[in-house]
Amino acid sequence: MACAGPLSAAARCTRRAELTQHERLIMQVNTTEGRVPVDQLGRTLVHEHVAVGFPGWYLDVRQPRYRREDALAQAVDHFARLRDYGVRTVVDPCPMDLGRDVELIALVAQKTGLNLVCATGMYAESMGISYSFARLRVEDIVEIYVKEIEDGIAWSGIRAGVIKIATGDGQVTDFERKALTAAARAARITGLPLISHTENATCGHDQIDIVTGEGVPAGQLLVGHSDGRDDHHYHLSIAERGAYVGFDRFGLEMIVPDEVRMQNVKRLIDAGHRDRVLMSHDTVHCFLGGLPGGLTQEEFQRRLPNWRLTHIFENIFPRMRAMGVSQADLDHIVTDNPRRFFEAGQVTQPTQG
């Protein structure tokens, strides 16, 4: 959706706002294969990855050669299994600086028939490409994000459907604050939801403060990896502010046992906050290069046998039903809540230039 003609910056912003407002009324979501009505998303996993590569991964000649065809075959094999569990949509919120390959994501969508949603946005300063963007103004970053949402990412024509934000452990850096501010302004312009990365379940409230301070409702934000700590009061405080609480690392039991995650989900449901819970795994189906710490992907998988796309449906749901959580509650979390998350900015937020 490019702005045509020699318009001033203000005129371009006004025209973009008008067009975006029109698109919001249609209530659709950008996927790699085009726009999909929000009520057709169905069962949705909100945080999974086809491939991830930390900046500079391709410079380490000790690592095995990356073969895209192998990565595609492995991802297709795993993602296709989701159809047996009624999953129709998967969000891959890989930011632009973690080896994002939207054309690979699109190929997975084409070969599996799933809706795949990709992201614009950046990772935390300590692990991302802060140098390249540190010299930019907030408005420059906003322009980049909005262009990836409205025109497409690079020359792929694939439009981002979510905006990724990220903070490190314990405090928000100046660069991260700038990136979050830009992301919030892009969300306000486009109506897209924001999916965050947090470390050790910290900075969730800082993220909410920055986003809402830019006029974006908290319900347009998923505070990711909130399950990184056994802290019901933290989860409850995020939910009470209206943001979504991300229990999105099921199977990653080297961080927190799944039993703890399930108990904390149930506590939020029992506290009346079923509407604020989103669930996923944060799986990665191809690590570009080696993992931090020198682990190989195979070693990682041996240590985490349940870290796979179907784990929630195969293992977590039955265990949660045994804990007294109804199937209706579980279906609500993986179907209704993702739909409402994508609707939030489209139906409640006025566009501003």
Q: Give the pLDDT confidence of 59-111 residue by residue, as tens digits.
A: 888 877 889 999 999 999 999 999 999 999 999 999 999 999 999 999 999 99
Give every residue of the chain whose pLDDT is below 70, as ranges: 1-26, 292-293, 297, 347-353
Rounded Cα gap, residues 198 and 223, in angstroms: 7
- Sequence-distant (≥ 6) Cβ neighbours of residue 175 within 8 angstroms: 125, 130, 133, 134
Domain assignments of the chain as residue spans, ordered by start: 9-348
Q: Give the pLDDT confidence of 212-248 residue by residue, as tens digits.
A: 999 999 999 999 999 999 999 999 999 999 999 999 9
> Span 9-348: which CATH code?
3.20.20.140
Can you give the pTM of this predicted structure? 0.90
DSSP secondary structure string for all residues of 83-131: GGGTEEEEEE---TTTT--HHHHHHHHHHH--EEEEEEE---GGGS-HH
